[in-house]
Amino acid sequence: MTDEALSRFAAIARRAYRFNEGPPAGEGRSVHPFDERNVHPDIAKVSQQLFDDGHYAQATFEAYKFIDKKVQILSKSSESGVKLMMKAFSEKNPQVQLTALKTQSEKDEQEGYKFMFSGSIMAIRNPRGHEPGMKETPTECLDHLSLASMLLRRIEQSKGV
């Protein structure tokens, strides 16, 4: 059996397994889990096929690589990862400004997002990039993609601050 044929068979087997693990007949899902979770369309573009094929950790990894690249472009920086996030979202001199930074509350919000972005890279993306064979459940993946979607939407809302 060729590698391509084996890969296709494995994908079919994963889909069949997930189909059998779903809700009882007549109570099936009418929408994709990404729609239920309101996963950002850009995150879906890089993660949905991987998710559908059962590659949950890889789907998460790709979503956070996308976030990293998006921040890199917006900040016009060659940095990546935690270092990029800490610099890009700094409350003192941000490259990606999320709030007006006029009040203490706005400065605190900027700082909080700095830690959310850097923390998600450190705790979610990095282990999937450095640990071979990392496994993740569909629910864990959807939770991670929901957070990535929220972070991406927050960047989009900041334009024109």
pLDDT tens for the 161 residues of the chain, in order: 666 665 566 556 555 555 445 554 445 668 899 999 999 999 999 999 999 999 999 999 999 999 999 999 999 999 999 999 999 999 999 999 999 999 999 999 999 999 999 999 999 998 898 888 889 999 999 999 999 999 999 999 986 55
Task: Specify the DSSP class assigned to residue 36.
Answer: H
Look at residue 150 and tell me if it is in a domain: yes
Look at residue 73 and tell me if it is in a domain: yes
Residue 20: predicted pLDDT: 45
Per the structure, the complete domain to which residue 92 belongs is given by 37-157
Please state, in angstroms and rounded to a whole number, the distance separating the CA atoms of residues 60 and 116: 16
Residue 127: predicted pLDDT: 85
Look at residue 127 and tell me if it is in a domain: yes
148, containing H or E segment: helix 138-157
Q: What's the number of domains the chain is made of?
A: 1
